[in-house]
Structure formats: C-alpha cells, structure tokens
Amino acid sequence: MDEIKLSDDVIEQIKDFNHRFLIEEQELLIDKLILNEELKELYKEYGLCNECKQPNIGHFYCKSCNFKRFHQNFKNWTSGNHDVDNFTQNTQLKARKFEEILEWIEHKSFINVKYLAEGGFGTVFKAIWEDGFIGSWDSEKNQWHRLMHKEVALKCLHNSQNITTEFLREIELLLILAANKSGRIIRCYGITKDPITNNFMIVMELKKGSLRQHLDKDFNSLDWKKKLYMLQVISFGLEDIHSNGFIHHDFHCGNILSDFNDKAFITDVGLCQPANMKISQEDNTFGVLPYVAPEVLRGGVYTQVSDIYAFGIVAYEICTGFPPYHNVPHDEFLALKICEGLRPESNYKIPNLIFDIINQCWDEDSLKRPNVVELRELFRKMYNDYNEDSVINKQIKEADEINSKSSSSTVKSPLLSTSTLSYTTHPQASYTSRLLSFKNLSKLKKTDDNSFELMRID
C-alpha cells in the first residue's frame, strides 16, 4: 500500500502556518484540507518537514527523508557481520524518532577508553565519542547535527564474535523502551567492535555508577523522601517495560544506574545472557540469585511478576542500604531457603507502609504481588503525602527514632557526618549475572500446611 501523503495543493495552502499557534481560521482550514486523521494529528503535533513538506512523525523527524539518508549511506559502512549490518540498517529504516536510531560506529571514533567494571556477560568501559550521536538534520549544511564529544559507556559482550540474531533483538528492545516518555531507560546509541578481540560492544548512555555504588557511597545521607522518590522513578522505568509487554529478566541494583542523586535509570533490559546463546538454550536461568523469584528458581520462566519480586528486593535494599544476603554464600542452599520462604532481614527499621508493599512484592504466591502500575501509584501517593500530618511521615519519624537509638543496628544515622555505608560481603556472594544451575534440586512440592517439601533426584 502506498504511503498516504499531503497533496501539493494542500501543502501550498498550509506551508506558512505555525502548527503550534494555529488561529481559528487556520484550524478550520486544516480540518477541511487534511481528511486523513493520522496525517492531521501528526501535522498538529509535529508540523511539516522543512524539505519534503510532509508531516513529521516525531519532533523534527521526517521518516521519509531520513529513510533516504540512511539508505544512501549503507554503502559507506559495514560491521563485517551480515546479521549486525542487516539489524542496524533495519532499525534505522524503521526509526520514528531520533532516540530510536542505532548506528554502526567505528571503534576509532572513541578516545580515552577506560575500564569501568566487569559484568556477568560483558566488560564495561567509558569513553568519549568524538562525533557524538545524531540530534537532528541540519538542512543548511545538508548533514546530521551531532552532539559531539559525548561521554558514553561501551559494553563489550564476551564471546560475541558470533552474536545471535536473538540477542540483537534484545538490543532493539532497548531502543524501543529508551524512546518512551519517562526517560528512565538507559539509551543505546549504536554498536561497535573491539579491534583486538573482535567482540561486539554496545554503545550506551553513561551515568556515574550503579545504584549499588550510590547506596554504598551516600546511603547515610539519603532521607526517606529521597528514598521514596527513588522508588517512584524506578517504578516509572519498570512500568515502561511492562506496559510495552516486555520483561526485564535481570532486575537488580547493578542494572539500575544513577548520577548519584535521587534519580535512577534502568539498563540491560533482556541482556542477561551470553551474546552467542542460541534460542534452543533459552531454558537456562540467568540472573543474580538474591533477586531471582522462587518460581524461577524452581524451574519456571521469567514473567512480569518475577520482575515485581526483584523490585521488592531492590526496594528493601534502598530502604536498608544493604545488598540482599551479603553475609552468606550465594549457592544452592540459599536458593533452597529462598524457595522455602527466606527473605532479606535487617535490624534497620522501615516504615510499615513501605514494608507492607515490599512484602507484597516478594510474596511466595506470585498472583498476590502488585502490578507495576499499582506500585507506581502507591509510591507516588506516599511521596506526595510527605508532610507533617500524613501517616507515612509519622511512620518515618518513628523509624528514624528507632534506628538512631538501636545499638544493634549497623547502619549509621543519616544525621551523622559520614555518608559511606560499611558492611562485609561474603567471599562467595555474587552480584553479577550468571548461569544459575542447581542440578541437585528438582521441584519443591507444597504440602498441606503451606510449607515446602524438597524432592531430590538420586
């Protein structure tokens, strides 16, 4: 079917209108001339392209013109991998806004490349991208306008020389989600390749560090209002994922990034797996054990309610400051105890309203867990009700008083001069994504008294 366009006659009559400030006569003329409702809405929202004069489909984004620009440039680059080339080209041709553009970026475009961290399936570096990402089209210079000298993160994917199309589709998911209105999903700019190992690297938005690093550094300076705001914005990001019908699969404090303020950004959506994993291997369970829901540990698949369980663990971590189960080995025994009902414990007092939500999130019965919209509304209401007369404010004062007096609490009061959190992590505790293979466990069978009976395979 041919694309529906405005006729030359219609364009001639409306080309000088300012779509943002239409007077009544212009509104009536637009309604009379543009009969296609979709075109009319696009015009009123985004105006006309400066070049082809057809309605833009995003802010200063003309799909028709940009389609031609990208297509004409395909001959000027290659990743050396047919699947990566096709994937990158298709995302460019399908893009409806600048945030959905994925580029192939030569590694020589990056300077000051420095190691940041090691993950379960990749190594993260930071670098300066000299050209920077595409921000708009410069009609006068007939070239892309780029935000130059951009600091970015480079995630080098281990064993990705034979990267799978399934994994590339997960990168496409990042593009879709990052373009959503909340701005709480880390943006992906493109793909490059390590010239030494030939491993592919994802070029992503850079933040100061992970939420875990932020809590370690600044926990004792975070009051409850900041914690509530943080929980609210994280729920916004998770809502973006779930409302689009997706699942994160690996939701934990290492995959939530921060600028070391009370804002937070979700990353690595769907990327908690080896880049060369075939679809036939997807029955394997990958993740960070303390955040994995018991139904998944027992062999079930990841679902949105599994993400909600992980959110509950993250919320508890934000409230108390401690990584979950930091003082025990992350092994088969811990997996068994989680399936039997074990949850993180701390002497740090949490206001009851918040703790009730956390308990709902990590309920053994996944059907009793709240959905992300309910979570967002609960935390939004508590944040907005943060005043002298509210129930949450009274509970916060009570919790602060208990925490400041408790000699057994290992967490310092936020009123103390130091903000750094101090704790000891067990040498066999792991907070990076890995294959969780507990072959000695079969299924946990629920008994009549709602406890669990472990069935072992001899």
d(CA 138, CA 157) in angstroms, rounded, equals 34
Q: DSSP for 244-277?
A: TT---S--SGGGEEE-SSS--EE--TT--S-TT-
In order of their start, the domains of the chain are: 8-56 (no CATH), 67-205 (3.30.200.20), 209-456 (1.10.510.10)
Question: Which helix (DSSP H) or strand (DSSP E) does residue 441 occupy?
Answer: strand 441-446
d(CA 366, CA 358) in angstroms, rounded, equals 13
Question: Which helix (DSSP H) or strand (DSSP E) does residue 366 occupy?
Answer: none
pLDDT in tens, 235-272: 999 999 999 888 898 999 999 999 988 789 998 875 54
The pLDDT assigned to 458 comes to: 40
The pLDDT assigned to 84 comes to: 93
d(CA 360, CA 315) in angstroms, rounded, equals 12
Q: What are the mean pLDDT values of the chain's consecutive 10-residue runs (458 residues total)?
A: 80 93 93 93 94 93 96 96 94 92 96 89 92 93 95 90 77 79 84 93 93 93 94 94 89 93 82 46 76 92 94 97 95 93 93 97 96 96 87 94 71 51 91 81 54 48
Question: Which helix (DSSP H) or strand (DSSP E) does residue 153 occupy?
Answer: strand 150-157
- The pairing of strands 150-157 and 200-205 is antiparallel
Strand partners, 171: none
Q: What is the pTM of this model?
A: 0.86
The pLDDT assigned to 422 comes to: 83
CB 58 within 8 Å of CB 43: no
The pLDDT assigned to 449 comes to: 56
The residue whose two tokens read 């880049």 is 275
The pLDDT assigned to 175 comes to: 82
The pLDDT assigned to 256 comes to: 95
First to last CA, the chain: 62
CB 404 within 8 Å of CB 415: yes
The pLDDT assigned to 181 comes to: 62
The pLDDT assigned to 131 comes to: 96
Tokens of 317: 């971590």
